[in-house]
Amino acid sequence: MPLRIALILGSTRPGRRGDQIAAWALEAARAHGGADYELIDLADHGLGNLDEPGNPNLQQYQHDHTRAWGSLIASFDGYVFLVPEYNHSYPGALKNALDYVYREWNDKAAGIISYGGWVAGARAAEALRLVLAELQVATVRAQPTISTHPSFTTGTFSPQEGLNTAVGDMLDQVIAWSGALRRVRQAKTQTPKAA
């Protein structure tokens, strides 16, 4: 069964530039191959502020939107987060979406494509790595960054030289790690727990 990789657009902000970057990244990923790719736009999922009363580790969800979100996240072997930098970190909408579920993220791989002003979202990516580690998501080293200043000079996203190569390198790592971690998840389901 082919690997399934979700590209998660981490901004819901009106007028965002991320939708253009996400459309380009999905096309680039599909051209790269090696997995089945799907775009998840947080703006389409209406999660709202975290409203589950219980610990997500227990998966005792009270709301249909949480169950649907958990099922969607669980269906993927890995992720690529498309993350803008807002005030030296990543958007609250993404943190909220991460916090809704827990086990569904575990033992998966992720890459990060960051974007923003002069540092191209690098601080947002580093902040995101800390949270992903707690969710037991293994982030890969290759990290494409997009400076929005030269990339949007005409108002439309235009990838800068070398970006396709950087995204390809990241996808190679995400694919390799996602395949390895799929085997880890399979081994966990086949190993009986001690009483």
Asked if residue 43 belongs to a domain, the reply is yes
**Comparison of pLDDT for 150 and 108, the residue scoring more:** 108
Asked if residue 195 belongs to a domain, the reply is no
For the chain, give the mean pLDDT.
95
- pLDDT greater than 60 at residue 195: no
Tally Cβ neighbours within 10 Å of residue 30.
12
Q: How many structural domains compose the chain?
A: 1
Asked if residue 80 belongs to a domain, the reply is yes
Asked if residue 53 belongs to a domain, the reply is yes
pLDDT average, residue stretch 90-104: 98
Name the least confident of 28-32, 44-48, 109-113: 44-48
- Which pLDDT score, from 0 to 100, does residue 155 have? 82
pLDDT tens digits for 164-188?
999 999 999 999 999 999 999 999 9
94: Cα separation from own chain's centroid: 9
Range of the domain at 164: 4-190
Asked if residue 49 belongs to a domain, the reply is yes
pLDDT interval class at 190 (50, 70, 90): confident
The CATH number that applies at residue 115 is: 3.40.50.360
pLDDT interval class at 15 (50, 70, 90): confident
- Which pLDDT score, from 0 to 100, does residue 93 have? 97
